[in-house]
Structure 1
């Protein structure tokens, strides 16, 4: 009898193919990381001002000029950073407004995430509230004569019968 013909992708071939794909993916990832690092280094070389080599030999006026140049560069970079952060905030606001408009047009609204509430906890809380006896604290208070320190004229005025 003839042997049954096996499929093209046998388990061994699948394993080998998977291994080759993983190696290729790892190689591509390393290459992308290297390109990103090279781009980063190139960008930093453009942006960073080089330090003068003979700082020790410079007099105070030349040092002040170098410091002023660095200060101006820092101010320029900070203003650029502020401008970019402002643009990012504006774009985020625009994106938010547009997504709200799209949702309104579709008729689909973002449903807020609700907290799960246990029904048994609510029933237990209701039972404990009903079971707790109400305590009247006023009935246990000591009676105090409020007119104890009143002046004599006030006592006389109190004794006058106003029902007439």
Structure 2
């Protein structure tokens, strides 16, 4: 494994050296100065950066895969040889697997219980924060005209008056007519009107 890593390192160093030599050869061939970052150099620099980024991504993926395989091997353990085993060793292997599964299920249930408790606490705290902030919707107030409200009150009052029986509370009055007096002639106009006489 160390030989592979050393070979990769030497290969990278050799490639870097080749790139440096090419760049130096190009610098010597171009006698006229065009500026440090010519379009050709920019293009090559982009290509080098892309290659380096791709190598880095590939290296990270390999590291993640190795870590994943390591964790899987740690969790599953080593496989038991059952081909040459007798009955007693098979029973021991089965008991070992059963105990391992039992322990893992206990851990699983404990973790599920802890996550449920944490979720409940989070929801409780969120509701408390919302209550403290006062996150409730204030309804918009309507603009009401003072004149309009007064008119509405007048309508209600006149409606109540119209429903009332004003004549029901009066006592009936019997008129007595004196025959001795002259009755005044009736005119179309009332007495209070000027010029009715």
Give the TM-score taking structure 2 as reference length: 0.40
Per the normalisation by structure 1, the TM-score is 0.46
